[in-house]
A and B are shown apart, each in its own frame.
Chain A
Amino acid sequence: MISNIQNNKKITFFLLFIITFILYFYGKEIASYFDAKWIIKYPKHYIFPISKYTSLFVKWLMDEATFGIFSFRDLTRFIAWLIQQPYNLILALISKGFLQGQGQDAVEILPPLSWISVITIIVSMALYTKDKILVALVAFAFFYLVIFGQWESSMVTLSSIIIAVPVGVIIGLILGILSYKSEILERIISPILDLMQTVPVFAYLVPILVMFGFGPVSALIATIIYSMPPMVRTTLLALKSIDPQIKECGLMSGCTERQLLWKVLVPVSKPTLMVGVNQVIMLSLNMVIIASMIGAGGLGYDVLASLRRLNIGVGFETGVAIVVLAIALDRLSQAFVNIPARKRKKNISFFKKNFNIITLFIFIIVIYLLSPFLPLIKNFPENLVFNTSLFWEELVKYININYYDNLESFKVTLLTYFMLPIKRFFLGIPWPWFITILTITGWYFGKLRLAFLCLVLSLFIVVTGLWEKAMITLYLCGSSVLIASMIGIPLGVWAGVNARANKALTVFIDTLQTLPSFVYLIPVVMLFRVGDFTAMLAVILYALAPAVRYTAHGIKNINNQIVEAALICGCSPRQLLFKIKLPLALPEILLGINQTIMLALSMLVITALVGTRDLGQEVYIALTKADIGRGLVSGLCVAFISIIADRIIKSGSNKLKDKYGMI
């Protein structure tokens, strides 16, 4: 009976597969035989111009909408002004100095903090964690920025982060707390957050650009919006996972509602909340770099400019600076997560208690007062700055001269035998059949709900006329994920069975994950110039981490008794791996692949910069033309692809887990 069902399933799958292939090979002939060209290509005049309506709506919003006493435009101006003030202050403080007047004629009234002071502050923060390695790392990173001439740009970037992070954290915390208190709000917010995390970053930038104009404030707003969702989620999760007894204890102690929140719930969940803060910092950094497209300036702008001019040397130099900054910020904020609570010392004076801070403060003031007289303090001496861009340029030149043939043949081979067939396959399947297959798959894994979701979301892509572009996205994403899995899963298995490999790989993977997505473009562009292949490589690099991590996690977390039982049965290590560990880790591995797909899609959009022709390119073009409708619709298409993939794979993983009794 059971084997019968199994067989039926197999036959159904086989049949579907055959039909797909027949349609792929003979789709055109069939279409022309029935004189139904719409099977191959969705007819133009049925395209529903959602993007046009959206643009019109936003135009109305900006030009005419009012809330009675003030208009929508007043509102955006007010928000911009609100953010501008603290940003200007910080920027002046650590980078530009306090100026009077505009542009060229501006006169400096007060100088900015010296590089010495900034480094001292950062290193003191590291010292506070009492982690010597961290101190060394942070000091190294910031000295690197000075010595290699990246100081000014990095301080501009840092200013944005200093503003964006607290705002993002506070808004996220408040939203998290509110949705913890009100279930209705949670139900409303949760899907919005889902969507926010799947809509590609460029798509955010378009409406913000239109509403707030080009400039650092827009970039800040985009950064805040982009980096806040994980804080909301973490807050909600942290509050929800508090032991109910702790809450009851607070109540029994006679806490008022507010005391319960601020004296019990929030402090108790602080360790988890700090993890959220770390995420906000890293996402902010990522976004600040990308937001250079709408005027963020700083390191991101340098990279963008050099990519546009294909100025490899400068690009690489800035890339390294971003990497250094990212690692330092990440490790520093993580160290703050892990600071153990310290014992309160009793009966010491205010001065003694804050001795370190006071010393630091005095030191900074002294340096500040000295800076007008000592140019060394004001600016790091120029003749000591190393310029590495020539070196990188030479290196790339050298590689290209000596290894050009090898690189080229590598690229061409992969393109012809791997990527092109996949591309042809996706573009060849008639869209009605593709949607049918998706819906059937949805049905198989998640019954009516999921089938319906798949159907509606993929129909959206068709009727907006973006099907072909979506297929290119799918092909690029598919081939990258395929390769990333082929590399990542074996690495994960290795890390899962070998403690030493695990340690090394963890460091490697952690570092990969802290780097802003932009950075991945730089080396691949250097070696392979622009095109699909370059895009794929960048995507693979960016999306590799979860495949490794989840696999390792899945393998390591298998119940030890099961392993022992298998060993007693006489399994060889090989058998143990293939017969026991891998099958049991499969649900987890699937989740890893799911994450890889999510990352791949988000990176794909960024690779539009190196000339892909997919949905990402649509979004990018919309950005350059400030066309909200186009950007939003193509952004939504990307989001829908990722939502479909996510729901199907997660249901599959859950189905497996359920079967194994793991939930």
Chain B
Amino acid sequence: MKKNPKLICKNVWKLFGNNPKDFLLKHNNNPSDDTIKKEGYIQAIRDASVEVFENEILVIMGLSGSGKSTLVRCMSRLVEPTIGEIFFEDINMGEISKKELIEIRRHKMGMVFQHFALFPHRTVIENIAFPLEVQGIGRNEREKSAMEIIELVGLEGRENYFPKELSGGQQQRVGIGRSLAVKPELWFLDEPFSALDPLIRKEMQNEFLRIQSALKKTIIFITHDFDEAIRLADRIIIMNEGKIVQIGSPEDLIMKPADEYVKEFTEDLPRERLLSVKSIMTKDQNSKYDVTVYENEKVFKIVEKVLTNGIVRVIDNNNKTVGSIDKETVSRFLYN
């Protein structure tokens, strides 16, 4: 993956309360948690820095109230950060005018909301065409684009329904469709599937992956469901009380949790299904065992092989030897 940052947050803070800017200044832009609480402020985001790379799916996770939504809203400038800078494609979002911001939103950003936020007085097609409508695109043209989107999200035949005539899953399809109408480059999704029941959620996740494989957007996705995060994420951000605790790939988080909080998050996961051989093997280019496994295979698939053979050789996609893995390692991994 080419690492080209699409969006950069630099030391972003967001406090709620009276005149938080002065408060931060008074405390050298670095007040302690206790000071913040004592003076009656709410710390939604504390000193968050992150780079979002082009075409990656970045998932933000954390408990309720940990500041996920606020962080994303700072990125889209629905919420003004108290201090800190945000760059979108080298544009400093804090310095642009209202007009420029509207232009960016009209062409480069899309957002999906937890509770769908559909306009109840508009039909499916009118909802999806709405972002085009506010740009002043004529009815025929915008409805043609909207129809394409409707096909993309699988709602053919329902374009003239009103939101309340749709099921939850279908409603969120509309929400997704609407956010894609302007063909955004940066796509925000704030717990898009949390309000759906598990089966539909799974279906929608697949749908989402299908759409992403076709469109290749830069995605920032909030969830507090770790399974969902693992399924979708290239990288995961873990947040706690407004702080970014760790940024890393799913495997990083499981293998090298930054603190107890992250560990707790990952503890009950079926690790053998999530981690690949690569992350637990012993690196050793010279091992000579006959039985081989691929480094990208998930651990649970190779358990049997290792247990029957005692030790196996690990190879990469080009059949080059990269390491070995033995019985003890596997059992320690499975049962610790």
Write the residues of chain A forming the contact surface with B, with a CB cutoff of 8 angstroms: 243, 245-246, 248-249, 251-256, 259, 263-264, 267-268, 270, 341, 343-344
Contacts and interface: CB of A to CB of B under 8 A. Distances in A.
Interface of B: 73, 76, 78, 102-103, 105-107, 109-111, 113-117, 119-123, 130-131, 133-135, 160, 162, 178-179, 182, 188
A61 to B, nearest CB: 41
A253 B126 CA distance: 13
Given A253-B106, A254-B103, A254-B134, A245 B78 contact: no
Nearest to B130: A253
Contact of A252 (B111, B116, B121): B111
A246 B113 CA distance: 9
Contact of B121 (A251, A255, A341): A341
A344 B115 CA distance: 26
B119 A268 contact: yes
Contact of B110 (A243, A252, A264, A270): A252
Given A254-B131, A254-B134, A341-B162, A248 B121 contact: no
Give the interface SS of chain A, mostly helix, strand, loop or mixed. Answer: helix
18 contacts: A245-B113, A245-B117, A246-B117, A246-B119, A248-B117, A249-B111, A249-B117, A251-B105, A252-B179, A253-B105, A253-B130, A254-B106, A254-B107, A254-B182, A259-B134, A267-B122, A268-B120, A344-B123
A138 B144 CA distance: 44
Highest count of chain B CB atoms <10 Å: which of A251, A253, A255: A253
B115 A252 contact: no
A264 B126 CA distance: 12
In the complex, the 7 A-B pairs of residues with the closest C-beta atoms, listed nearest first: A254-B106, A245-B117, A253-B131, A254-B105, A252-B111, A245-B113, A249-B117
Contacts of B110: 252
Given A248-B78, A254-B135, A343 B160 contact: yes
A264 B122 CA distance: 10
Nearest to A253: B131
Given A248-B111, A249-B178, A256-B134, 12 more contacts: A245-B116, A246-B117, A251-B105, A252-B110, A252-B111, A253-B130, A253-B131, A263-B134, A268-B119, A268-B120, A268-B121, A344-B123
Contacts of A259: 134
Nearest to A249: B117
B131 A245 contact: no
A263 B129 CA distance: 13
Contact of B123 (A251, A270, A343): A343
A267 B115 contact: no
Contacts of B76: 252
Contact of A251 (B78, B107, B160, B178): B78
A243 B117 contact: yes
Contacts of B160: 343-344
A245 B114 contact: yes
Nearest to A264: B119
Contacts of A270: 121
Nearest to A345: B160
A229 B133 CA distance: 34
Nearest to A260: B134
A251 B327 CA distance: 56
Nearest to B113: A245
Contacts of B111: 248-249, 252
A248 B113 contact: yes
A243 B116 CA distance: 10
